[in-house]
Amino acid sequence: ENKALWSGRFASSPAEIMQQFSQSIDMDWRFYKHDIIGNKAQAKMLTHIGILTTQELEQILSAFDEIEKEIHDGTLIPKIALEDVHMNIEARLIEKLGPLGAKIHTGRSRNDQVATDYRLFMKDAILLIQEKMTALLKILIEKANADVDIIVPGFTHLQHAQPISLGHYWMAYFWKFNRDLKRFTSAYETTNFSPLGAGALAGSTLPIDREFTKNELNFAFITENSLDTVSDRDYLLEFLFAASTFALHTSRLCEDLIIWGTSEFNFIELPDAFCTGSSMMPNKKNPDALEIARGKTSGILSSLYDLMVNMKGLPLTYNRDLQEDKRPVFHSIETVNIILDVLTPLISEIQVKEEEVKKHLNKGFLLATDVAEYLVLKGVPFRDTHHIVGNLVQYCIRNNKDLENLTIEEWKNHHEIFDNDIFDILTPESAVDRRSTYGGTARSEVRRQIEKAKSLLK
Ligand code: ARG
C-alpha cells in the first residue's frame, strides 16, 4: 500500500511531481537507525504508561529489529509516496503487525520525531568528528615537538617579519583547532536535549512520559517548551558555526602550506601521496589535496548561511521549509570528515627542507626588531630606536649588506651606544629564544605549550 499515512483527509493522492518534490528520503534515510532507536523508546514509554502491554512491546521491538535488518540488507526500499524515513518505517511496522503497529505514533508527531532523530544523529556525528579532530591535534603536537629547533621566517602581510620556531607555528594551529573542538562540544551540549513528546507543537492530551523517553534515549536534558522544540534548529546552526570556524582555519592552514611548497619559498616537501601531476607538464607536482581542501571549505561556510537564511522568516512553529535543514548539515558533516581524513596524514608526512629554509633567514632583515630592542635595553627610547634601525636597514639595502655582517664602526656610525655585544644577538636562534615572554616563540615557551596541550588532550 502506497497511500500516505495521512491520506484520510484527502480525496486523491498527490501528483507524481508533488511526491518527488515533497519527499525527503534522499536525505533522511540516513536517519533510519536513529529513527528505530526513537521508535523503540516510544514503544517502551507507551508500555510504561499502560497503552501497550508487555507482550505487545515484545512484538513491536522484534519487528523493529527485523526492519533494521531489512534496511541494512537493502531489502526494504523506501517508497517516495511515503515521503520520509519516519513514515516508511512506520508503514512497514503496520504492514508487519497490523493494528498493533498502528499504535506506535500515539502521542507523537513527525515534528518531534524528526527533531529526535536529528539530535540523536548529530550526537553521533559530532563525536566522530571530535575523535578525528583529536587525532589531528595529536599530529600537530608531534610536528611541533619534532620541529621546535627549526627556525623559519615568521610573516605579517606575507612579508618577512621575525624568526620563529616552526614548532610555534604548528602550535598556533593546535590552539585554533582546539577552540574548534570546544565549539563542537558546545554544539553537542546544545543538541543533548530530548524533544520527544513535544508532539506536533503543543504537547499531548495523553499521559506520555517525556522523562522516560529522555532517559531511554540517553539525552542529558528535556526541552522546556513544545513550540520552541518543534521550531528550533539552532543546535544545527551551532554545529555549522563550529564546522565553519574549523573550515576557515583549515583553509588558512592549506594556504600557508601551498605557499611554503612553492619553488619561491621551498620550505617544505609535500608528500607525493597527496599531490598530483599535470597531464601536459611533466615537471609538475601540484598541492591538489590542499587546494581541494581550501576549495571545499567554502561549501561548509555557505551551509551556515543556507540554514540561517532558510529560518530567518519562519513563523512558529514547524514549517515544511525546515525539511531543507538536512542538505547543508549533511554536506558539512561529510566535508569536515573527508578533510580531516586527508589533512591529518598529509600534515604528518610533510618534510621540512631545513637547508633551504636557512637561506631565507637573512633575507628580510628579520633581526631588525631585535636590534631596536637591544637599544631599548641600553636606555634609548623605542621610537628613536625604530628610526635608527630603519636607517640601518636602508643603509644595508643601499650598500648590499646584511645586519649580520656590519662592522662595529658601521654600527657606531648609526649610534655610539652600539657595542661588541650586538654580535651576540644577531643569530636567528637567539632571536627566537630571547622571545621568552609567555606565549612567545622561544623554544622554552614552545615546549611549555606542548606540555600544556598534551595535558588538555588527556
Ligand atoms: N520530512 C519532514 C522533515 O524532514 C518530517 C516532518 C513532517 N511534518 C509535517 N508536518 N509535514 O521535516
For residue 1, pLDDT beyond 60: no
Lowest mean pLDDT among 153-157, 328-332, 400-404: 400-404
pLDDT in tens, 89-124: 999 999 999 999 999 999 999 999 999 999 999 999
pLDDT digits (tens, 9 = 90+) for 191-225: 999 999 999 999 999 999 999 999 999 999 999 99
Q: Calculate ∠ Cα 298-300-302, nearest 5°.
A: 70
| Cell output for 128 | 566522530
Residue 310 CB–ligand 1 contact under 6 Å:
no
By the 8 A CB rule, do 344 and 336 touch? no
Domain limits of the chain? 7-106, 111-359, 362-457
Residue nearest (by alpha carbon) to ligand 1 atom 3: 323
Helix (H, G, I), strand (E, B) or coil at 210: helix
Question: Which cell numbers in the block locate residue 345?
Answer: 596524514
ipTM (interface predicted TM)? 0.95
Identify the residue whose cell numbers are 513544545: 226
Half-sphere exposure of residue 59: CA atoms within 13 angstroms, side-chain side: 16
Atom of ligand 1 nearest to the CA of 28: 4
Query: What does the alpha-carbon distance between residue 311 and residue 305 come to, in Å, rounded to a whole number?
Result: 10
Looking at domain 362-457, its CATH superfamily turns out to be Fumarase/aspartase (C-terminal domain) (1.10.40.30)
Contact 39, 91 (CB under 8 A): no
pLDDT reported for residue 164: 97
C-alpha of residue 91 to centroid of ligand 1, in Å: 15
- CA 189, CA 193: separation in Å to the nearest integer? 8
- Rounded Cα–Cα distance for residues 404 and 355 (Å): 18
Give distance in angstroms: CA of 185 to centre of ligand 1: 28
| CA dist 267 → 67, 166, 199, 349 (Å) | 56, 11, 59, 14
Largest CA distance in the chain: 101
C-alpha to C-alpha distance for 389 and 401, rounded to whole angstroms: 14
Nearest CA to ligand 1 atom 11: 320
Distance CA 199, CA 191 (A): 18
> Are 177 and 93 contacting, i.e. CB atoms less than 8 angstroms apart?
no
Question: How would residue 4 be classed by pLDDT, with cut points 50, 70 and 90?
Answer: confident
% of the chain with per-residue pLDDT over 70: 100
pLDDT for position 206: 97
Distance 231 CA to ligand 1 centre (A): 11
Residue of 6, 109, 320 best suited for mutating to test ligand 1, as the one with most atoms within 8 Å of CB: 320
Answer yes or no: is the C-beta of 322 below 6 A from any ligand 1 atom: yes
Whether the CB of 233 sits within 6 Å of ligand 1: no
Are the C-beta atoms of residues 422 and 388 closer than 8 Å to each other? no
What are 314-340's pLDDT values in tens digits? 999 999 999 999 999 999 999 999 999
- Kindly give, in sequence order, each residue whose CB lies less than 8 Å from that of residue 137, ignoring residues fewer than 6 positions away: 174, 177, 178, 181, 453, 457
Could you tell me which CATH class the domain 111-359 is placed in?
Answer: mainly alpha
Overall CATH class of domain 7-106: mainly alpha
Q: Is 90 in the pocket of ligand 1 (CB under 6 A)?
A: no
Note the pTM of the prediction, 2 decimals: 0.94
Q: Which residues are identified as catalytic?
A: 157, 278
323 Cβ inside 6 Å of ligand 1: yes
Specify the pLDDT at position 50: 97
